[in-house]
Homo-oligomer: A and B are copies of this chain.
Amino acid sequence: MENFYSADSVNDIEALVDKALKLKTDPFVDQSHKGKTAVLLFFNPSLRTRISTQKAAQNLGMHAITMNANQGWKWEMEDGAVMKFDTSEHIKDAARVISKYADVVGIRAFPGLENRDKDYRDEVMHAFMKYAEVPLVNLESSILHPCQSLADLITIRETQSKKKNKVVLSWAPHPKALPQAVSNSFLDWITKTENELVITHPKGYELNERFTKGCTIEYDQAKAFEGADYIYTKNWSSYEDYGKILNTDESWMISQDKMNLTNNGKFMHCLPVRRNVVVTDEVIDSENSLVFQQAENRVYAAQAAIHSLLSKSI
């Protein structure tokens, strides 16, 4: 693996899940990258990603240097720009400089949710992959969140009773306009496994076809839930009417009634979650809720990814 940007970065997803599960049983087993440095840059707030990735690096015996990058400078993205306005460093220079200090670099950079084309170009990540001399870990970009998705696959693997499950990605209401990254990324990864996927959301919330191609979309949430083994829940703002909230219909909240339609299905969410808006307390606090297991697996997802990047394996 050269970069950990999307599911396509990985040569063998199942092998990466295997590696993560092995690291979970013994986090310190491999110290072959001891003393190396991970530089983690956050343009946006982070709790889970920040702590879990730092811990992943430390489990490998590495140093983690973590920085907020949201104040003090703005990166120029355009090649050949005359930088007389508000950008103080070109991203190609930043990428090269950080390469001198890091063995692997992680970046979080959320979308603006105003200009769809710009957001979907995912410029910060692509610039780093182009210019940095060390591998990149995508810590949530404008459109993808592979560390989360790998943790999700690890969690499904740990809890599944059969190889082919019915997995439902369900939209749920939320008072704020959220990115599509977690949902896109879940599709990106889950569709490369043996599972069957159904997407359910109100009309107007269709995700980018690049991620939904070949997936079943079922606008009737109850019907989608029938016989499901996993309900993966997430709010996202509209892709079509980009970045907008079209609907806050409470009837889309995940409740026990709906979970009762499933095949004793497990509830999944990446967190943070708005309780009693996205999902009822009853569901998230039930035995079928996997949310804390997902959170825990973030460590081993990041650890497997970083290890594979530095070992040029998987």
Residues of B within 8 A of A101 (CB): 51-52, 55, 296, 299
Residues of B within 8 A of A84 (CB): 175, 274, 277
**Nearest Cβ on chain B to A236's Cβ, whole angstroms:** 15
In the complex, the answer to whether B51 meets A39 with C-beta atoms within 8 Å is yes
In the complex, the answer to whether B292 meets A83 with C-beta atoms within 8 Å is no
Residues of B within 8 A of A58 (CB): 37, 63
Partner of A97, one of B68, B90, B271: B271
**Nearest Cβ on chain B to A271's Cβ, whole angstroms:** 6
**Nearest Cβ on chain B to A154's Cβ, whole angstroms:** 13
Complex Cα distance A295/B92, Å? 14
- The verdict on A76 contacting chain B, using a C-beta distance below 8 Å, is yes
Which A residues fall within an 8 A CB radius of B?
28, 35, 37, 39, 44-48, 50-52, 54-55, 58, 63, 65, 67-69, 71-73, 76, 80-85, 87-90, 93-94, 96-98, 100-102, 175, 271-277, 281, 291-292, 295-296, 299
Residues of B within 8 A of A37 (CB): 55, 58
In the complex, the answer to whether A292 meets B97 with C-beta atoms within 8 Å is yes
In the complex, the answer to whether A292 meets B100 with C-beta atoms within 8 Å is yes
Residues of B within 8 A of A96 (CB): 292, 295
